Amino acid sequence: EAGVVQSPRYKIIEKKQPVAFWCNPISGHNTLYWYRQNLGQGPELLIRYENEEAVDDSQLPKDRFSAERLKGVDSTLKIQPAELGDSAVYLCASSPIAAGAYEQYFGPGTRLTVT
Amino acid sequence: AQSVTQLGSHVSVSEGALVLLRCNYSSSVPPYLFWYVQYPNQGLQLLLKYTTGATLVKGINGFEAEFKKSETSFHLTKPSAHMSDAAEYFCAVSHTGANSKLTFGKGITLSVRP
């Protein structure tokens, strides 16, 4: 079974530029999460989707961050414009419906460096 | 509200020695507790989890953890460290329900000396 796929794995951009990250969850997983992991810290939830619906986006900085999950499968997280403080690893995770927090599968992440 | 405290950022042990990584949690409701491992440039992999029932839980790669409610702890142990155990370890807390959210600690880096 294929795991959670993320691309790109690494991205270097200059501040004020836009950037997008893509995630393909495990087949059949209805719940999708985006996390941000700052250096030396644990992951922090940005947004959670149940199918196409964003059910928890309370931690998403909406002035510059946006996300979408069209057709309830793949998801894209966008930052526009990027700031130096956005340098982090962005992790995507998925879980089967109703499994909630105790059965999340993580992708390898996208390491973003903003210069 | 829920939170996790992982004291210290780095633990170093000799190969074959006991591994002990500490985790204390705070939760206003009965917690679900997790340990994840992260190898360099990889995502997080679930080592073990406690939800209900037996308080000593066994996970992959010979790790185990014990839920102690009175101490609000969920320390991770392994009797004999192996070089391949070198990684970053995260403790996380959640609670029952599909709408629950994982809250992670800051993580501990484990080094294993030959």
pLDDT (tens place) for every residue of chain A, 115 residues total:
689 999 999 999 999 999 999 999 999 898 899 999 999 899 999 999 988 999 889 899 999 999 999 888 999 999 999 999 999 999 999 988 666 666 789 999 999 999 9
* Percentage of the residues of chain B whose pLDDT score is greater than 90: 76
Cβ within 8 Å, pair A56-B101: yes
Question: B44 to chain A: which residues are within 8 Å by CB?
Answer: 43, 91, 93, 106
Tell me, what's the pLDDT at A100?
61
Picking from A33, A102, A111 by the largest number of B CB atoms within 10 A of its own CB, the best residue to mutate is A102
B40/A9 Cα distance (integer angstroms): 13
User: B32 — contact with chain A (CB < 8 Å)?
Assistant: yes
Tell me, what's the pLDDT at B99?
65
Question: B49 to chain A: which residues are within 8 Å by CB?
Answer: 102
Q: How many CA atoms lie within 13 A of B111 on its CB side?
A: 6
- Per the CB < 8 A criterion, the answer to whether A43 and A51 are in contact is no
Residue of A63 and B27 predicted with greater confidence: A63
Tell me, what's the pLDDT at B67?
95
Q: What is the pLDDT of residues A30-56, one digit of tens each?
A: 889 999 999 989 999 999 998 899 988
Tell me, what's the pLDDT at A98?
63
Q: Which residue of B has its CA nearest to A30?
A: B98
- Per the CB < 8 A criterion, the answer to whether B1 and B28 are in contact is yes
Is residue B95 very low, low, confident or very high in pLDDT (cuts 50, 70, 90)?
Answer: confident
Cβ within 8 Å, pair A107-B43: yes
Query: Angle at CA A41, nearest 5°, toward A29 and B4?
Result: 80
Q: What is the pLDDT of chain B when averaged over all its residues?
A: 92
**Residue B42: strand, helix, or coil:** coil
CA nearest to A35, candidates B102, B37, B98, B39: B102
- Per the CB < 8 A criterion, the answer to whether B108 and B55 are in contact is no
